[in-house]
A and B are shown apart, each in its own frame.
Chain A
Amino acid sequence: MTETSNQVPDDKVTIEIDGQTVLADKGSMIIHATDRHGINVPRFCYHEKLSIAANCRMCMVDVEKAPKPLPACATPVAEGMKIYTRSKRATSGQKNAMEFLLINHPLDCPICDQGGECELQDVAMGYGRDVSRFVEGKRSVADEDLGSLVASDMTRCIHCTRCVRFLNEIAGTDELGGIGRGDRTYIATAIGQGLDSEMSGNIIDLCPVGALTNKPFRFKARAWELMATAGLSMHDGLGSNIYYHTRHGKILRAVPQKNESINEAWLSDRDRYGIHGLNNDKDRITQPMVKKSGQWNVISWDDALRILADKLKNTAPQEIALYAGQHATSEEYYLLKKLFKQLGSDQHEHRLTHVDFSGPYRAPRTDVALTDVAKQKNIIMVGTYARHEQPILNHKIRQAWLHGAQINAFGPCHFEQNFDLNLDITGHQLAWVEKLGSLAVSLSEISGQKPDGALGEWLSQQHADEDINSLAKKLLKKEEGALFVVGQIANRHPQANLINALVHWMAALINASVNEVVDGANTMGAALNGLYNDQDIKNNDHTVNIIYQAEIQDFAEPAKIKECLINSEMTVVFNAFCDDALKARADLILPTTLLPESSGSLVNNYGQRQTALVAHKAPGESKPGWRVLRVLGNVMGFDGFDYEDVYELMQETEKLKTLTSENPVLAKVNQLKVKGLVLFPHHGIYDGDMLVRRSAPLQESKLATADTVYVNPGDLVSIGFAVGDLVSVEQNGRYAELTLATDDAVPASSAVINMGRDSSLNINAGELSVSIIGAQS
């Protein structure tokens, strides 16, 4: 089709690139047009997701009537512009830029980790000279220790500033900068403090040369030895798209796979380095094992499944309970549900991270698609540290903020954010919920509307707050809409039902949307398959407990589940890992594989169903969970367990209905009395699942937590211990040995304990009263 000028829309201009007439957006750069039309222009500093710096000068193109070659990334298109990307003038501009870039760049590709996948190497092959004219010495730059995730070889840096711009614009943490000037400029952190960002690994992908590389992957393999397998992250509810790079069936590293609707071009560090937990042999189960008079014996799969089937057959159905972790595949959940239906038991639960089971089960509500979070004008974060819960969600919130959104937060602590908060309302676990109540009180007073029932009664005891009142007024104008993001701190709260009821009532009043942040990669899949119960099944006695792809650390109430397991006759663990804490309470262990080792589908927080393929060879006799369940179903003599392969199963899980979220039912408010300090059970970014807990690079990084209890400095005197003291934290007669620390960000009367760690296995998130006493040992 030929385009004539009278058809050109207002926002477009007609330009000609290498003789081809194309339309380009007004105000866009030449490189946008060449990229859209698949015309290759070499570049180093330009990146479609970052601002334009135009400092490498590699993208020179020849523009008719211009006196000299122009950088394509920084030259806006104009009507009638004629551009030549391969003319003599263009290529000589590119060649000259290349020669300048190579003046100080070492020519030692064979010993560089980036060799074989280096943009500089690739472009130099095309544009560089075979022999360098440069005989003078090259400069060298001292390397910096950037932490356990990113390795640096700063001598190789070509000062494109992509890393600087990423950390400024996307991560919002600004750790790197250009220090010095002229030919002595180098890229460094301010004081050698390393990288703090939860997204820091992305600078590895962005760096066009070998200056920033993947530290745990360093010198492990060459790019051409690797195979790429498309996979999904199992560490948060987004299912970020990943390419696993494998060699001989072993994952060596993870890189992002572009998906504009989820992770764009990024990966959080958790998604990038979580896989290193897979290669950690500690606690890895490779063969079925049974405990006989306190001793573990290896047995065959046949025997193991026969033992289990016998036990199941001889146990009353309601005596059998299932606790399913939240990152298994939908296919496994599907078979588990089938199994339990035919057993006749409804004692199954996937919400291991919940403690408030006071209302009937309700599916998480997500009104706003992930990409649209960035378009919100008002965001109210309720009990969430999105930055650690779903780093990519936080990235979208930050994008919204960059575009002028107002962000407010209610929670148990002043979390460090990479955007400004309008209000950061904090208080101990009970107090911040009351502050959220203050928002509802203001909304209620101004609008004249009142919730009824238990919520109305509770609200009548709450008070308005001056600061919060202004927010209520703004929200009631309803002009810009609002989004409540209810997070994992709320999920784990003993008044979760109250929080949800409050948020739903407010959202209905002001026409706001609600997004609830789920805890696991496939919480939605487990919910779709109905693996829940209206009550807390931990309160019922069971003879047989099945723990499926979970560890005790995954429970919000580890102490409580330990009790349950001890009091049962048999505990069966289906998992890839089994640590001592679980082994002590297990009787039968079946080695099943984790996500990168098995195929299946996941449904993310936003209802997107995605599939992943096997990327990693599981050790020993481990088997994918769906296979084990299939055989178990058959041994039990149940119907409908004859699947040839996982694809056949996937066809069935694909047909599962989507979830509809009901309004919370609040029959009665959990009125809680606290003695001593109020617990805030904090979940560190790298304490959330069995892989990140075992990933050495993540555990050595700056965001890793410690065996610490944090209090407000003002409470130190009444506690009677000093910072750094080893103390015992007592909760209902159970103790956790922790180091005492203080932080202004912790509200008064609060005690913050890092959950998901061995040191907190005696602490239940739901019991808020704790006290700090002298060390027991």
Chain B
Amino acid sequence: MKLTVWTYEGPPHVGAMRVATAMQGVHYVLHAPQGDTYADLLFTMIERRDHRPPVTYTTFQARDLGGDTAELFKTAVRDAYERFKPEAMIVGASCTAELIQDDPGGLARAIALPIPVIPLDLPSYQKKENWGAAETFYQMVRTLAPGDAQPRPAPDATRRPRCNILGPTALGFRHRDDLVEITRLLQRLGVDVAVTAPLGASPADLRRLPQADFNVVLYPEIAGTAAAWLERTHGQPSVRTIPIGVGATRDFIREVAEIAGIDPAPVLAESAGRLPWWSRSVDSNYLTNKRVFIFGDATHAIAAARVAAEELGFEVVGLGAYNREFAREVRAAAAKYGVEALITDDYLEVERVIAELQPELVLGTQMERHIAKRLRISCAVISAPAHVQDFPARYSPQMGFEGANVLFDTWVHPLVMGLEEHLLAMFRDDFEFNDAAGASHLGAGAASASPPAPAAAPDAAAVASVIAWSDEAQAELAKIPFFVRGKARRNTEQFAASRGIALVHLETLYDARSHFAR
């Protein structure tokens, strides 16, 4: 049993829903109680989809348990087929139905529908949403594009190289726009996109997957398993570089060019967007060595760390991911920045680490946004779990050169707004200004006079140490601009601890300052 306040990932059947909802002509019959229908609102409200997800829930009740829940399931399958006439169906159980062991796959097979029916075995008590999406996509690809599928015509001089783009789903963090950006980039390179899946693909499209020369895996969390199988079974190599940031996009171009046997030079010679110059422009000087903490799904977190370090000149002070399946990759990346990887799906643990590190910027999920808000640290969102704000009306990719422009804006903006808070602090004694006004970017509810700090929520100050501050020293600390205040506090306390000082006086503060100035 695990105590959980907030979860980064839903159960695995929600991953399956993300695949089904992304596709055309697929219907999902899910053996589940009525409350599980909440998952529909993730798609209709958070992503603002204008259709219900193509999911039929059996919504069995307690009184059905003594009777025939299996019959209920079969009826639901027949009705869903009649009503929706899908090209393929996936069937499975949610956590509760898993316990009653009705075997949805076997029951559906017994009905012998004239379409492919793909049973899903998603262990709800072991696995989570991303795994569920990956497994669902893999099972569908395997069933619809089996090893004996029609062989691929050999590449020849008369046709352009052709690839599939794998990974984008419903409810994905900026998948919609990444897809547009990367499709355009591939076209500029002279590569045709045969199939994009799951997003927008039909079962017929999945059957055509083996016809492409190679696969571009945009979201390994979702498409990694299927791509590895396509590689083994159909000999399709995969492009694995994730084109987030300028450097990674260039690497991506090179990798695609190599696999496709084309020349990347013309596209590499084109503009790489505005990030390189924006970052070199002198006003960006203040970004140098900003301490940044990064947390999200492994793919986005690792990519963000590279952009932060190499393209914005930040110092990566923490790097982590909530999906254990990719722990190895995250550890390797963390080692590059000399930090220890934080692999956890425990929100409270992430909060503790952020409070301890006191970064100046948090790049995280919506969860970290809340943590950062409470600790009054600037924050930008880089990864799912997705929130309604992560589906902007405007074009806003994370990938490719335009994506890099977007990253520059969205990561630097909160820091610039932070400077506004610094100005507030400078004018704090002016009658028109006071700390309680708060900074505008934190929203009206974030006035600093009473940040919501429940008893057990670690306060940035309280967590790191047990060292006390005299009123005088505390007051002096408050005069230090906020964006270095955390650092000053940390250094002072570290200094005090190393000298066995339990109470920080004004003197200690300045001693520490001169100590660290050396």
- Real complex partners, A and B? no
B interface residue numbers (CB < 8 A to A): none
A interface residue numbers (CB < 8 A to B): none
